[in-house]
A = this chain, B = another copy of it.
């Protein structure tokens, strides 16, 4: 331990040190909770400068491998896992987001290290910080200690303990006052969309944001339900367009729209709520998918918390905030709709196993979820800064523009190029670099000016390999102009 060899190292010394320590952590040579030597001691020991050690430690901390305790030093973080090294199954399944035309391309390599392809737009979150050992312990206790309870049938809406824990989380984290009876737990948001179609009625017209998640459209299409698209302006979805389409139900992500990153303005929120209140049977489905990852500033209140007339259906998922293998999502129904749900759809059995529901309930109510979110925010915040700094370092100011709003795990990178987006993507592909253009998330472009979507690309920094980034950005810069 800490007897690393620095002879004949081609890469920067701090990077080699980072690699060595990281590898020891992954191999459990360094165990979670273990204190690392002070920077000075390690520098002396390895005959390196303190700055080198400091750079390595900072990098490790940024990526969640170690953490610092003020005035005490650095410790190995609790939960660590190796980088994923095969991408086949990942790629096969597709990530949370799939875009229309770009879907195939997006899914073909989700992790930078996986297939040699460097992907700027992978939306698979790194799960190195997933709290495996805590989760395993809570799960074991759920199975062995709560046998009787776990085998009881639960109501169609999910385990009461879990619904109470979620209500508590929404109260402290989002300032939402929610009765646990309004909460419906299900195995993923796609499943919940299916329930909503049955609850709201197949005769309704659903309205989706353009651009937006293609998967939502897939669900409606596959269920044979009518849906239309509405464009966004800088304030969010255009309410006057909704009115023109005759839609009854709106899907929207006001906190952080995907992929544009737009946060719906306050006046637009009230306009949307007014629209919903103007006619019976109108509802807003608020997908709050990454609100946990708002990195700066005060959190933005949910539409649900502004709604006085019972028109907002709030949705969120633990697949995004915890790990995508955790198939637990939930929706908060307005009281009248919740009543209807229990009357008409309570014959359904909850799709999440009781064991997992108990585990998650304790994970939330015992504070682990909050801790996890805080750690992830720190991790993502530092990573974002590093990515933005490197972009600023590599490109000339006139070459690019960052479009973002301090939220979520991605931003939009505008690049000043004469090439079409297709040409640019194809040229980068030759260098094993993948990037998804914004345009691929548009279902309709009629009447839209090219400047709205052209030359804009999704950078999902959550899973970007920082060490390769500068080199890859240099290639992007070259491809931009030649």
Contact = CB atoms under 8 A, between A and B. Distances in A.
A155 B92 contact: yes
B98 A347 contact: yes
Most B CB contacts (10 A, CB to CB) among A151, A222, A356 go to A151
Given A110-B153, A323-B151, A190 B348 contact: yes
A189 to B, nearest CB: 9
Contact of A89 (B89, B155, B219, B347): B155
A315 to B, nearest CB: 15
Interface in A333-360: 344-356
B349 A190 contact: yes
Nearest to A326: B353
A151 B127 contact: yes
Nearest to A93: B153
A140 interface: yes
Interface in A183-200: 187-188, 190-191, 194, 198
Query: What's the number of copies of this chain in the assembled complex?
Result: 2
A152 B110 CA distance: 10
- Interface of A, secondary structure class, is loop
Contact of A150 (B143, B325, B344, B354): B325
Contacts of A95: 153
A89 B325 contact: no
B132 A147 contact: yes
B223 A347 contact: no
B351 A351 contact: yes
A90 B143 contact: no
Contact of A324 (B153, B345, B356): B153
A93 B154 contact: yes
A327 B153 CA distance: 11
Interface of A: 81-82, 84-86, 89-90, 92-96, 98, 110, 124, 127, 130, 132-133, 135-136, 139-140, 143-144, 147-148, 150-156, 160, 187-188, 190-191, 194, 198, 202, 215, 218-219, 222-224, 319, 323-328, 344-356
Which 7 pairs between the two chains have the least Cβ-Cβ distance? A93-B153, A187-B351, A325-B354, A136-B143, A81-B147, A187-B187, A218-B347
